[in-house]
Amino acid sequence: MNVAILRYNAGNIRSVVHALKRLGFKPEVTNDPAALRAADKVIFPGVGEASSAMAYLRDRGLDTLIQSLTQPVLGICLGQQLLCQYSEENDTECLGVFPGRVRLFPPEDKVPHIGWNSIGNLQGPLFDGLTDGVHMYFVHGFYAEKGHLTTAVTEYIRPFSAAMSYGNFHAVQFHPEKSGDAGAVILNNFLKL
């Protein structure tokens, strides 16, 4: 299976590569449009800032490429946020795969949300083999609002979308690559889609 990890100006790619290698896959890290289109699965990870990430994607035509992908795509952390319509982080128009807004947690002295937290209301194939209350590792200051595409919920200050899904696009706010055995289950489930 050909797994591509989208390379752009956002961090955290190395830990995703290592997690996939532990599962027996050798991913290709690339921003080449032909390689991304040809991949069986595409992972869109990221730790960083929304407006500079979107500027990088737009400058290289990767924004429209991502929107046009038809194979399974998994957004992780900033990747989930950029798949939404809009982010309050520096007033950023995002990719619009998922409707809804990404907001800053209030109050600012509680930001960022770092550490282990439980997820619940699990829906969809990413969560096969897991039960409500399983813990995942989070590092973020912005969150996607809950909506009809939410497939898992976490509460930190307020409930938010821990995961979302629409067609071939799936996304998680937490870091499955840093979430131990349960995170490995999610990555493996995605690779089986």
Residues belonging to the active site: 77, 175, 177
Asked if the peptide bond before residue 112 counts as cis, ω within 30 degrees of 0, the response is yes
Residue 94 DSSP code: -
Sequence-ordered strand ranges (E) for 45-192: 73-76, 84-87, 92-93, 98-104, 113-118, 135-140, 142-144, 150-156, 158-166, 169-172
Whose tokens are 């209350």? That residue is 133
Return the sign of the alpha-carbon dihedral for residues 142, 148, 151, 153: positive
